[in-house]
Amino acid sequence: RPAPPTEPFTLNFTIANLMFTTDLGTPSSAKFRSTEKIMRHYIDRLLQKSSIGPYFSGCKVMRFRSGRHRHDTGVDAICSYRDSASLARFDREKVYQELSTMTKGVTTLGHYSLDQNSLYVNG
């Protein structure tokens, strides 16, 4: 029988201590690829520990963008999870709260600092 379909959701946040450069805006650049890999590592680890963990199937950073401040870089990712009867529904508020808690109130992601008002889950 076929695998359950995956449902996409967006994840957006701003890193306060990663300066945006043109090569971060270029998906084919080495800088984009290495930074994307690091982001994916951190994001995947958090989502695997969240309530959607058992259904989570991965994220892809779609783009890095210049943030509001000179040293900021915005991150736009598309993540997905397997739709399942045991997952009543995708609760973006709940996932937001979990991610917020795991990033110490939207302040830390690995060795990066986050802009506290920048986290959006399917927003």
- CA-nearest of 103, 96, 89 to 120 is 96
Report pTM.
Answer: 0.92
Kind and range of the H or E element at 97?
helix 92-102
**Which domains, ranges and CATH numbers included, belong to the chain?**
6-122 (3.30.70.960)
Compute, in degrees rounded to 10, the torsion defined by CA atoms 109, 100, 56, 20: -40
| 16-66 pLDDT tens trace | 999 999 999 999 999 999 999 999 999 999 999 999 999 999 999 999 999
Strand pairing partners for 78?
Answer: 10, 60
Quick one: angle between helices 92-102 and 30-49, nearest 10? 110
As a whole number, the mean pLDDT across the chain is 93
